């Protein structure tokens, strides 16, 4: 027993031996004593009760008295309890066929009211509240000869945490209904207008099978009025009796009347939906079930709530009827409903299995669900006697490879039998194909079995079947099903490496045998997890099952086992797992056997696992080509990193390969915790999490797209009933500090930069290349004073346009902002988004910034794109192409401000933005004593911390992008940029939020405050092309040979302007007069453009007297390997961001320097060689190839084809890309092109362009 109020069990029994063990066993741990009345048992009930409690040392009393009616018998037991000397505080009432279910063992500690109702649920799905706990001194009494009720002076409350399961197996059930009818008729003779007696007389007639009499009694009770729940239920039950009697018009009339009487109850609509579906009138049926889906379980009602209808039945009716809908929107919602049922592990097996079977009728083709899906035959010609079957595509570095299986059988008509010529054994031969980026076959080699493979023990099925290809340890591997190693022909998984040298043979093979009973092992999904930062090796794992999700290691030993939130036992392994959106993506299949057709059918789904391999997201099922046997065993990223490549077979005889945009796959994935259920246009209510002492705020959130539950674009808020308050879930503080633990370390700029770096690494996939169309930027600005200069607005929009973004400023007085038009800014009237009158009301009752918070949600919902506050100074283009972008702020958690709304990205019609818009309006008008941020950062933070916005958490990034200087640190704006390396020297800084920082100081000059540069961004952060014109180097447009290389450096390095820390420039002044008293011009240029960089110079001349914190010089000759190696030894490997070779221009020196210095370059760093079109005299073309020619061969052929004495080709594997650009001087002078080469180093172990 637990601490709390003392309970005494009180009940009446008769011949209940069949039920007592279950009943008393459920309650014994929660009571302190017992008083039970027996009304004439003859089966040993009395002895069982006494011995049961004696064995547990629980005191109590057993009394015996006759039964006349339930009011008399229950009050007799009650009176004995009142008179008992036993010590207790509350009476707990029970029946022998009831089972107490306790979910909160501490429920007794909360008791203090006179009485409590507990929920009573039957196995039929019926649920209602029944008074089951009363305080000893409350004076409670029973009334009613049968279906008695307990009257408790002082009233009763509902108790959560404990409830009763009604097994309806009591011994008195056999003759109960006729006996009850007799008792009720006798009582009605004395009290003919007793509404309760009439209701239960109708119930007794119904249960006794006397349907016509029940219909009359129900009609009588419904007409009497009184307690509306009981009167309503009488009308509903009467309608059901009329249907059973065949009176269909009467049923329809009374069912509609019941709904009209109590429209918050869905039971009449369910009956009507079922009625019309049974008659084949599916459109009429859907009309009622669709309306019923919008009705939530009536938590305030207590009488006869049919839970099954609210949890399962209504969705099931809609899922069936909507399949016949001509309206594609309704049919799509039916698909969602059917899928929701098929994957719902909380409902009974019957409805779930029916829905899963019905998915067959809804399932669509891949092309229909993913318009970018494009498939083509693989085009491989199988050897004579074989046909192409399943195949598996994969990536090895930048190469696309495919393992093509060929087989010697055909699949019989029933898709079950395998027919081979002359009945010979089934045999598989595998071929490794190398594909181009256009998926054309470039070469093919047969993959031979291992040389040390033993002779088959079972020769009925031979070869390595259904191999999944994957890259591991810089080699190709595969995991296959093999049946020839055991006499019984067990399916076993074998992992093996493909040795691509010469013979192309499997090697390093081993059998994977998991612990436990021996089973056929098929369809394991390989997963190669990257090594750890500390240098750990790649880990090979396999997803062995989906429900539970079991992960095993490379030896077959279980690493983890996690049950998913959905019913996924039908999921069968398909493809490899590939890194996707911060987790792992795979294709699985489900096999349906259609008994009527005696055929198998395969359905496919994308599934997404988080880093812990918990199944978190799933798509709806689809087929590739046609319904039938299709098998997908390969999934990989295309080298363009915008598409996925899928390999699949059709009927084990056709091999296909396809591509699909990753964004479409992403949009198909639904969160398994909140799958769309098919409800349309219904307002769900959610509780936003607040971690700051305030009560949870409830607000209506209306989903806009009921069935598009995309990752990053939720279509539907979760339904009512999820406890999101502080007691039921984590607070916003907890959620954001778990999501971004570095927020706790806000006092150290270097540490917060370092600790947030890994958190932001996932954004790289969503930042487009230089050619990516930049998103539209939207701002709001309202001129409130004609005297204002609007300097911040001009600086912000000018910086945005200079970065290349289209910029749109919204205002209710756009004519006052015409001065922005010459800067290329588009002006729009804000009245197109929100009415001016609403703006006036909001501003009149608060401040303009409150309106701005609301406006951004409305604007992004209707238009999408980037929102930026009009005090964001953009330092470079922000080519974001994900689903959403939100950024955090360093401080503000004490007010619940975690997410800063100054920069937001969303796609048009995003339901999350619609929800935020509605919530902001509601919160603004409902809240009193509003503080700044309540509908801005605090609302954003609360929403993303709630279940409704939970999927947005993967789109939240650190403050480094725009808020690296916090709002509490605005004094930093008064410091020169050179003093702000801890804040700005990071590749993630795209812009700076000025907050309230303003400055009228002079512009430019050394030591000028940062704010001065930001307020004139075109001058303060000039492009390298313009800046180079101020320094006398031939990299500009007017000095010397005017190569104009600055434009190339600007293009390739501007995104790293604040991040570059070390740049090396190689020059070789031979005999030329130089001013060794001043810093070289090009060094000054680099230092000016890269404000946090140290320039390292390599020259024939000694410039060490100029060394300082930002310049370090070395003396060295490019033609001498010894000189270069001495310099390299003094620098750390991978310590340079950029290397620029503007030295001797001799091919030998260029290639020798490239060979010796390339290891000094950081991953993703750039190596430039200038003036490739000029060579000094003395080069021997027979001994050294021109650098330009050599690098072009490596770019186009993968390796040098000409003489390469210095082994530059050995570096080719480290070259992510080689780009040639023109010297404007050489192009104009001699029509020579390609005078500058830029080589980007691979990003670590693999290139992520």
CATH number for the domain including 464? 2.115.10.20
At 761 the three-state DSSP class reads helix
pTM metric for this prediction? 0.52
- 1143-1159: per-residue pLDDT in tens? 999 999 999 999 999 99
Q: Are residues 218 and 118 in the same domain?
A: no
Residue 557 resides in a domain: yes
CATH number for the domain including 1142? 3.40.50.150
Please give the distance of CA 1162 from its chain centroid, rounded to a whole number: 33
3-class SS string, 440-508: CEEEEEEEECCCCCCCCCCCCEECCEEEEEEEECCEEEEEEEECCCCCCCCCEEEEEEEECCCCCEEEE
Q: Are residues 215 and 167 in the same domain?
A: no
The tally of domains found in the chain comes to: 4
Contacting residues for 152 by C-beta, under 8 A, at least 6 apart: 114, 115, 131, 134, 138, 139, 140
Q: Are residues 1135 and 1084 in the same domain?
A: yes
Q: Are residues 443 and 299 in the same domain?
A: no
Where residue 1001 falls among pLDDT bands split at 50, 70, 90? Answer: very low
Residue 604 has pLDDT above 90, yes or no: yes
Residue 1015 has pLDDT above 90, yes or no: no
Domain boundary among 673, 694, 717: 673
At 758 the three-state DSSP class reads helix
The pLDDT > 70 percentage for the chain reads: 91
Mean of the pLDDT values across residues 371-389? 91
Q: Are residues 379 and 319 in the same domain?
A: no
Distance CA 433, CA 476 (A): 12
Q: Are residues 330 and 407 in the same domain?
A: no
Mean of the pLDDT values across residues 223-230? 91
Cβ-count burial of 725 within 10 angstroms (0-12 exposed, 13-18 middle, 19+ buried)?
middle
Element (H, E) at 873: strand 872-874
Domain enclosing residue 304, as ranges: 200-361
Q: Are residues 412 and 334 in the same domain?
A: no
Which pLDDT does position 689 carry in this prediction?
A: 38
Domain boundary among 641, 657, 673: 673
Which pLDDT does position 712 carry in this prediction?
A: 32
The DSSP code for 115 is: E
At 549 the three-state DSSP class reads strand
Taking residue 801's Cβ as centre, other Cβ atoms within 10 Å add up to 18
CATH number for the domain including 100? 3.90.550.10
Could you tell me if 779 and 807 are in contact, meaning their C-beta atoms sit under 8 angstroms apart? Answer: yes
Instruction: For residue 742, report the phi and psi dihedrals to the nearest 5 degrees.
Output: -65, -15
Mean of the pLDDT values across residues 252-262? 96
Cβ-count burial of 1240 within 10 angstroms (0-12 exposed, 13-18 middle, 19+ buried)?
buried
Could you tell me if 645 and 636 are in contact, meaning their C-beta atoms sit under 8 angstroms apart? Answer: yes
Cβ-count burial of 249 within 10 angstroms (0-12 exposed, 13-18 middle, 19+ buried)?
exposed
Which pLDDT does position 23 carry in this prediction?
A: 96
Nearest to 420 by CA among 403, 431, 407, 433: 407
The tokens describing 586, both together, are 């795979």
Residue 167 resides in a domain: yes
Residue 1097 has pLDDT above 90, yes or no: yes
Element (H, E) at 151: strand 149-151
Buried b (16+ CB within 10 A) or exposed e, 998-1029: ebeeeeeeeebbbbbbbbbbeebbbbbbebbb
Q: Are residues 163 and 211 in the same domain?
A: no
Residue 803 resides in a domain: no
DSSP per residue, 631-677: EEEEEEE-TTSSEEEEEEEETTTEEEEEEEEHHHHHHH-EEGGG---
Residue 341 has pLDDT above 60, yes or no: yes
Contacting residues for 192 by C-beta, under 8 A, at least 6 apart: none
Residue 1002 has pLDDT above 50, yes or no: no
Mean of the pLDDT values across residues 546-565? 93
Q: Are residues 107 and 55 in the same domain?
A: yes
Mean of the pLDDT values across residues 178-193? 85
Residue 762 has pLDDT above 70, yes or no: yes
Residue 802 resides in a domain: no
Q: Are residues 502 and 580 in the same domain?
A: yes
- 416-447: per-residue pLDDT in tens? 677 888 889 999 999 999 999 999 999 999 99
Q: Are residues 322 and 380 in the same domain?
A: no
Residue 731 resides in a domain: no
- 56-78: per-residue pLDDT in tens? 999 999 999 999 888 999 999 99
Distance CA 1159, CA 592 (A): 56
Distance CA 924, CA 932 (A): 11
Contacting residues for 1008 by C-beta, under 8 A, at least 6 apart: 976, 1001, 1002
Distance CA 605, CA 587 (A): 6
Residue 708 has pLDDT above 50, yes or no: no
- 891-910: per-residue pLDDT in tens? 887 777 889 999 999 999 99
Domain boundary among 332, 361, 390: 361
- 1106-1142: per-residue pLDDT in tens? 999 899 999 999 999 999 999 999 999 999 999 999 9
Residue 826 resides in a domain: no
Q: Are residues 244 and 381 in the same domain?
A: no
Where residue 951 falls among pLDDT bands split at 50, 70, 90? Answer: confident
* Residue appearing with tokens 């180093």: 1241
- 273-290: per-residue pLDDT in tens? 999 999 999 999 999 999
Nearest to 816 by CA among 777, 849, 785: 785
Which pLDDT does position 356 carry in this prediction?
A: 94
* Residue appearing with tokens 């937001």: 904
Residue 274 resides in a domain: yes
Residue 713 resides in a domain: no
Element (H, E) at 541: strand 539-546
CATH number for the domain including 293? 1.25.40.10
- 791-813: per-residue pLDDT in tens? 999 999 999 998 889 999 999 99
Cβ-count burial of 929 within 10 angstroms (0-12 exposed, 13-18 middle, 19+ buried)?
exposed
């Amino acid at each position: 027993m637990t601490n709390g109020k003392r309970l005494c069990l009180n009940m009446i029994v008769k011949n209940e031996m069949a039920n007592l063990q279950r009943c008393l066993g459920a309650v014994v741990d929660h009571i302190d004593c017992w008083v039970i009345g027996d009304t004439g048992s003859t089966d040993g009930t009395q002895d069982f009760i006494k011995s049961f409690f004696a064995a547990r040392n629980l005191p109590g009393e057993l009394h015996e008295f006759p039964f006349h009616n339930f009011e008399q018998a229950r009050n007799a037991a009650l009176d004995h309890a009142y008179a008992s000397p036993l010590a207790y505080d509350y009476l707990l009432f029970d029946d022998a066929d009831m089972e107490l279910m306790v979910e909160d063992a501490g429920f007794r500690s909360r008791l203090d009211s006179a009485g409590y109702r507990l929920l009573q649920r039957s196995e039929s799905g019926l649920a209602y509240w029944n008074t089951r706990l009363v305080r000893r001194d409350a004076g409670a009494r029973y009334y009613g000869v049968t279906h008695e009720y307990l009257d408790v002076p002082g009233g009763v409350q509902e108790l959560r945490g404990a409830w009763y399961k009604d097994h309806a197996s009591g011994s008195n059930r056999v003759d109960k209904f006729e006996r009850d009818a007799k008792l009720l008729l006798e009582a009605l003779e004395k009290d003919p207008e007793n509404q309760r007696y009439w209701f239960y007389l109708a119930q007794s007639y119904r249960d006794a099978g006397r349907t016509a009499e029940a219909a009359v009694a129900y009609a009588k009770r419904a007409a009497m009025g009184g307690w509306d729940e009981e009167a309503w239920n009488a009308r509903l039950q009467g309608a059901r009796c009329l249907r059973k009697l065949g009176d269909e018009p009467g049923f329809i009339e009374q069912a509609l009347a019941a709904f009209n009487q109590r429209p918050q109850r869905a039971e009449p609509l369910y009956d009507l939906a079922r009625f019309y579906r049974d008659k084949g009138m599916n459109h009429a049926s859907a009309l009622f079930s669709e309306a019923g889906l919008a009705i939530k379980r009536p938590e305030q009602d207590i009488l006869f709530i049919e839970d099954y209808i609210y949890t399962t039945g209504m969705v099931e009716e809609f899922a069936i009827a909507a399949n016949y809908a001509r309206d594609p929107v309704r049919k799509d919602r039916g698909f969602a409903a059917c899928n929701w049922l098929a994957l719902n592990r909380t409902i009974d097996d019957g409805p779930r299995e029916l829905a899963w079977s019905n998915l067959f009728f809804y399932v669509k083709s891949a092309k229909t669900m993913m318009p970018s899906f494009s498939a083509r035959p693989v085009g491989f010609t199988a050897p004579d006697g074989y046909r192409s079957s399943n195949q598996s595509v994969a990536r090895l570095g930048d190469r696309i490879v495919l393992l093509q299986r060929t087989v010697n059988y055909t699949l019989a008509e029933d898709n079950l039998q395998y027919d081979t010529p002359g009945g010979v054994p089934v045999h598989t031969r595998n071929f490794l194909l190398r594909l181009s980026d256009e998926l054309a076959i470039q070469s093919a080699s047969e993959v031979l079995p291992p040389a040390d493979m033993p002779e088959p023990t079972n020769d009925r099925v031979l070869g390595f079947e259904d191999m999944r290809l994957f890259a591991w340890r810089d080699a190709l591997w595969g995991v296959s099903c093999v049946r020839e190693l055991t006499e019984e022909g067990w399916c076993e998984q074998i992992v093996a490496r493909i040795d691509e040298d010469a013979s192309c043979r499997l090697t390093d093979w081993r059998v994977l045998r998991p612990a436990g009973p021996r089973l056929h092992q098929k369809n394991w999904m390989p997963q190669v997890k990257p090594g750890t930062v500390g240098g750990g090796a790649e880990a090979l794992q396999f997803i062995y099952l989906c429900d539970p999700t079991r992960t095993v290691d490379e030896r077959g030993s279980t690493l983890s086992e996690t049950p998913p939130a959905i019913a996924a036992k039908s999921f069968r392994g398909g493809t490899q797992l590939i890194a996707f959106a911060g987790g792992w993506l795979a294709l699985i299949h489900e096999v349906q056997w259609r008994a009527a057709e005696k055929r198998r059918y395969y359905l496919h789904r994308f599934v997404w696992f988080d880093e812990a391999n918990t199944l978190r997201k799933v798509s709806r099922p689809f087929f590739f080509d046609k319904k039938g046997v299709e098998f997908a065993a390969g999934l990989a990223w295309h080298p363009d990193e915008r598409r996925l490549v899928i390999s699949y077979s059709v009927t084990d005889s056709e091999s296909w390969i396809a591509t699909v945009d990753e964004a479409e796959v992403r949009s198909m994935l639904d969160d398994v915790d909140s799958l769309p259920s098919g409800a349309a246009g219904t307002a769900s209510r959610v509780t936003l999490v607040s971690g700051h002492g305030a009560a949870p705020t409830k607000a209506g959130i209306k989903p806009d797209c009921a069935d598009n539950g995309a990752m990053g674009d939720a279509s539907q808020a979760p339904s009512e009933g999820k406890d999101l308050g502080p007691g039921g879930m984590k607070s916003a503080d907890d959620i954001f500090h778990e999501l971004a633990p570095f927020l706790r370390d806000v006092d150290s700029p270097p540490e917060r930069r370092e600790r947030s770096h890994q958190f932001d690494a996932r954004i790289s996939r969503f930042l487009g290349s230089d050619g990516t169309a930049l998103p539209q930027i939207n701002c709001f600005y309202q001129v409130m004073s004609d005297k204002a200069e609007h300097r911040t607005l001009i600086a912000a929009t000018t910086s945005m346009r200079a970065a290349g973004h289209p910029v749109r400023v919204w205002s209710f007085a756009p004519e006052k902002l015409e001065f922005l038009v010459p800067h290329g800014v588009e002006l729009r009237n804000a009245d197109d988004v929100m009415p001016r009158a609403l703006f006036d009301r909001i501003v009149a009752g608060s401040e303009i910034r409150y309106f701005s918070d609301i406006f951004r949600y409305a604007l992004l919902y209707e238009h999408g794109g980037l929102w930026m506050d009009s005090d964001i100074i953009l330092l470079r283009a922000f080519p974001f192409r994900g689903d959403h972008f939100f950024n955090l702020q360093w401080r503000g958690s004490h007010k619940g401000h975690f997410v800063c709304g100054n920069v937001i990205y969303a796609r048009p019609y995003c339901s999350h933005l619609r929800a935020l818009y509605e919530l902001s309006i509601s919160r603004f008008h409902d809240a009193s004593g509003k503080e700044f941020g309540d509908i801005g950062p605090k609302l954003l933070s609360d929403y993303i911390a709630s279940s409704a916005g939970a999927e947005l958490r993967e789109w939240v990034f650190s403050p480094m992008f725009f808020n690296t200087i916090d709002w509490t640190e605005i004094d930093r704006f008064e410091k020169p940029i050179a003093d702000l390396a801890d804040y700005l020297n990071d590749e993630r800084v795209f812009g700076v939020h000025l907050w309230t920082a303003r400055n009228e100081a002079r512009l430019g000059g050394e030591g000028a405050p940062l704010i001065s540069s930001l307020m004139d961004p075109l001058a303060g952060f000039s492009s390298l092309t313009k800046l180079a014109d101020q320094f006398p180097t031939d990299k500009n447009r007017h000095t010397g040979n005017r190569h104009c290389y600055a434009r190339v450096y600007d293009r390739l390095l501007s995104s790293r302007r604040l991040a570059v820390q070390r740049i090396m420039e190689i020059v070789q002044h031979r005999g030329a007069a130089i001013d060794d008293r001043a810093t070289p011009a090009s060094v000054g240029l680099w230092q000016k453009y890269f404000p946090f960089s140290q320039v390292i110079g390599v020259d024939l001349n000694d410039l060490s007297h100029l060394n300082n914190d930002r310049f370090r010089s070395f003396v060295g000759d490019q033609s001498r390997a010894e000189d270069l190696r001495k310099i390299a030894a003094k620098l750390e490997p991978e310590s340079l961001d950029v290397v620029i070779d503007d030295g001797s221009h001799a091919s030998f020196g260029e290639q020798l320097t490239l060979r010796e210095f390339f290891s000094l370059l950081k991953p993703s760093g750039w190596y430039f060689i200038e003036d490739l079109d000029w060579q000094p005299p003395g080069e021997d073309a027979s001994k050294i190839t021109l650098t330009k020619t050599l690098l072009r061969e490596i770019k186009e052929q993968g390796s040098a084809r000409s003489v390469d004495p210095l082994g530059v080709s050995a570096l080719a594997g480290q070259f992510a890309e080689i780009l040639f650009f023109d010297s404007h001087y050489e192009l104009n002078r001699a029509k020579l092109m390609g005078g500058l080469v830029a080589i980007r180093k691979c990003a670590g172990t693999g290139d992520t362009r």
